[in-house]
Each structure stands twice: as structure tokens, then as C-alpha cells.
Amino acid sequence: MIKTTALSNGIKIVTENISHAHSVSIGIWVKAGSRYEKREEQGVSHFIEHMLFKGTGRHNAFDIAKVIDSVGGFINAFTGKEYTCLYVKVLKEHLVLAVDLLKDIFLNSLFAPEDIEKERSVIVQEINMIKDTPDEYVQELFNAAYFSGHPLGYPILGELETIQGLDKKNLLAFFTEEYLQPQHIIIAAAGNLEHEQLLHEIGDSFAGLELKPAAASSGSFVPQKAVHFNYRKLEQVHICIGTIGLSQLDPRRYALYVLNALFGGSMSSRLFQEIREKHGLAYSVYSFITSFLDTGLFGIYMGVRKEAARQALSLAHREIGKLKLEKIDEQELQSAKEQLKGNLLLSVESTDNRMSRLAKCEIYYDKYIPIEEVVSEIDAVTREDIQDVSNMIFSNDYLNYTFLGPLKEKNIPAKILSIN
């Protein structure tokens, strides 16, 4: 059963009781992330995430880890473009301990200057690690190029120069303005717990937060066709192709989910079978969807030898063209739907995934969307829907290409960077 309570200051508390579960997962979600950063403070959200584990007046960094380890649970956090989450998963009998720790580190972290300096060094290493991982780094380069000039293009980890410029004043100012804003906070929990029990454990800790004027959100985004070459001496060329996608609120998103599944979302997908299985051009090749409140993108990634780049691009373009010109057959459509439904239903067997789903429904839809409704929407997708969405997103006006590796502009003539 799903229950939701809104505190007087706007904080949402949403729970799902799963009486047969051994565990409970609790998360503090905040509608704050890299999208809401200024250019000069890129990485501040992620920096704050690190600092929430460095100590409070009651718990030092070791205590925070030890408290959860001692009961066999785990604690973690992650930062995204539009939200940040701090969460704990424990056995049901340790709910009180978990909530007490979450409250303390979210509301009472010290942001000690000496800890800030240590974490600055850690984050610099994290940024360098991404740059040393080309299949990840090309996606960061692509994201920056696709959303050029817009905060959605900022790297979540920040840039080396912006990380060096952040201090306690910057961190606390952003934390106070974005994180301690009641209407930005959702407390979600799923597992063997009662809604009223969670309300009791939260107590007045969050009710005391006061509403503040909301910061202005980043403006709208209109994609433009672009090609970017990033030369580096590597064994492979890493390629990202991207085009316009759909927002989290677009009713056509279910058709896009099905399209992604059959096009490049699995080992049986068209892209994987054509480029890897039939031609042996890539070990890793797939398509992906990224959706936000008001926009989105559809992308393709592949890592190939320099000599195979043209052929791989040609094959990808050919498969895109087929989607636009030919209706898929009914069997392929049903297979993609079953894959999506299977992945969805298997994912909600864990309390942490169910907790995440509760929070994301509140963030994007301001209500809970039952699994049964999602399954029904997937089942309703038609062959015509797939073709319509294909023709909408796969336009030469929107195509973006990012290359990372031993490739230069002269190696890829502009005429082949388009869909026929």
C-alpha cells in the first residue's frame, strides 16, 4: 500500500509497505542537482554529496560507516542532473537507527574546512578517473556538446578548475538554497515498515525547515546539429550519436521506451545484431534514453577500430532509416514489450528500487504511478507509434556526433554524417 503525507512546509513523505520483505530502504531525495548550478560552481552538488559523509556533531566519518556496517546494511548517495539522493537499506528491525543516522547527516553535517580539502583531492581523482575511461568520457563530452551552453551539459562531477574554486561558503550557500528547501525534499521508504512509524521517527526534525524563495530554473533547450572530434591516441574510436528525445512528461515516452528496446537496448536488438554479431565491428554497442523534466535525448554508443568507423556509422544510419521507412513486424514489437515489462517487474523485487520509484514519481509526476498503469501503457504501443516516434526524433536537423580517439575530421567526410 502506498501512503503519502505532506508536512505543513511542503516536504513529502511517501511509503510503500511490503509486509513480506526483510528489509527497508529509506531515502532523502532532493530536487537539486547539476542542472541548477551556475557555470562557475559546476560540481557543487556532487561535492555536497561527498561532504554529507564526513561527519556531524554526533558522528564522525568512521561512525557513519560503522553504524550501518554493524547491522549488515549499506548507506550511499548519488547526484544527478535534476535530483540528489541519500539513502540507507537495513533489516526492518533497524529502521529507527537508519532514520536517525539519515536525519543527522542531512541536517547536521559540519562541512569542516579540513574535510573539504581532503574531499577536493578525492573528487579531482574521480574526475581524472573518468577521463582515463574513454567509453565513459566520450559520453561526458557528448553531453557537453549536445547541451552546449545549457546547464544540462555541465558534468555532474564538475570541472577541475571549478572544483578548485569551491569552499565552505560556496557549499553551504548552495546547500541552504537548494537542499534545505522544503518543497524540494521527498522522503521515500519501501519495505517492511508502517507509514505512521516513519512519520514518528522523522518527528519535528524536517518540519522546522522554513520555505525560502525558489531559485530560477534553467531555461529551455533547443538542440542543434553538431559534430565534434576529440583526438586521442587510443586503440579504439569511441562514438556517440545523439538526437532529440522526449521529456519525462511526454505521453509518447512509452513508444520511445519500446523503440529503444528493439533498436539497441539488448543483445537481441537490431543495432547489436547488425554491428557486433553480423559484422564484428564492436564489442560494445547500444542505444540509450536520457529524459528530464522538459527535454531529453536519444543516443547511440559504439567503440570500434579507426578503420571500421565509417562502416559502423553507415550501418547505424541504415538501421535508423529502416525504422523511419518500415513498420516493424508484430513479433518484434511484442518481444520488445515483453523485455521492457520483464525488466520493470524484476526491478521492483528489491526495496531500494521500489523506494527510488516512489521518489521519482513524486519528482516528475507529483503522484504515484502504479506499475500496472506503466505495463498497460507499454502494451498499448503500436507499430504506427514506433514509426511516428522514429520519424520525429531521427532528423538530420538534430543529429549530434562526438568522436573520441585516433580520428580526425578528414577521416569522416561530412556527407556520411546524415541519415539517407
CATH number at residue 181: 3.30.830.10
Q: Flag whether pLDDT at 26 surpasses 70.
A: yes
> Does the pLDDT at position 222 exceed 80?
no
Q: Does residue 151 form part of some domain?
A: yes
Is the same domain home to 181 and 311?
no
Q: Does residue 141 share a domain with residue 93? A: yes
- Residues 133, 248, single domain; the answer is no
Does residue 209 form part of some domain? no
Q: Residue written as cell 523485487?
A: 349
pLDDT tops 90 at residue 323: yes
- Please list the active-site residues: 49
pLDDT tens digits along 45-97: 999 999 999 999 999 999 999 999 999 999 999 999 999 999 999 999 999 99
Same domain membership, residue 138 and residue 253 = no
Per-residue confidence at 188, pLDDT binned at 50, 70, 90? very high
Question: Quick check: 218 pLDDT over 80?
Answer: no
pLDDT for position 216: 62
Per residue in 121-145, pLDDT (tens digit) is 999 999 999 999 999 999 999 999 9
Q: Report pLDDT for 260.
A: 98
Q: Which conformational region is residue 10 in: left (phi greater than 0), alpha (psi within -120 to 50 degrees), or beta?
A: left
In a domain, 370, yes or no: yes
pLDDT at 213 over 90: no
Interval 273-283: pLDDT, tens: 999 999 999 99
Write out the three cell numbers for 221. 533547450
Res. 30 pLDDT band, cuts 50 70 90: very high
pLDDT at 214 (0 to 100): 66
Q: Is the pLDDT of residue 196 over 80?
A: yes
Q: What is the mean pLDDT of the chain?
A: 95
For residues 37 and 117, membership in a common domain is answered with yes
Whether 71 is in a domain gets the answer yes
Residues 192 and 265 in one domain: no
Are 182 and 257 in the same domain?
no
Cell numbers that stand for 376 in this block: 498497460
Which of 109, 85, 111 lies closest to 26, judged by CA?
85
Same domain, 109 and 47: yes
Give dist(CA 284, CA 260) in Å, integer. 16
**Per the domain annotation, does 150 fall within a domain?**
yes
What is the structure's pLDDT at 217?
A: 65
How big is the chain by its Cα radius of gyration, in Å?
23
Reference 217, options 251, 178, 159; nearest CA is 178
State which residues form the domain around 407.
Answer: 226-416
| 405 and 141 Cβ atoms separated by less than 8 Å | no
Counting DSSP H helices and E strands in the chain, the numbers are 15, 11
Residues 6+ apart with CB under 8 A from 12: 4, 5, 6, 185, 186, 187, 362
- What is the average per-residue pLDDT within 209-230? 79
Q: What nine digits make up the cell of 249?
A: 512528461
Q: Say yes or no: 195 and 235 in one domain.
A: no
DSSP line for 97-122: HHHHHHHHHHHHB---HHHHHHHHHH
Nearest C-alpha neighbor of 153 from the set 163, 144, 142, 161: 144
pLDDT for the residue numbered 215: 64
Would you say residue 167 lies in a domain? yes
Q: Do both 143 and 283 map to the same domain?
A: no
Take residue 319 and report the three cell numbers written for it: 538501421
Whether 318 and 274 map to the same domain: the answer is yes
DSSP summary character for residue 350: S
Strands 12-17 vs 185-191: parallel, antiparallel or unpaired: parallel
- Read off the C-alpha cell for 183: 518543497
With CA atoms as reference, report the closest residue to 79 among 107, 58, 52, 54. 52
3-state secondary structure (DSSP) of residue 23: strand
Whether 347 is in a domain gets the answer: yes
- Left, alpha or beta for 337 (phi > 0: left; psi -120 to 50: alpha)? alpha
Judge whether 146 and 102 are in contact, CB under 8 Å. no
Judged by DSSP in three states, 376 sits in helix
| One domain, residues 269 and 399 | yes
Count of domains observed in the chain: 2
In a domain, 217, yes or no: no
What phi, psi does 20 have (nearest 5°)? -85, -5
pTM: 0.95
**What's the angle, vertex CA 239, arms to CA 234 and CA 242, rounded to 5?**
155
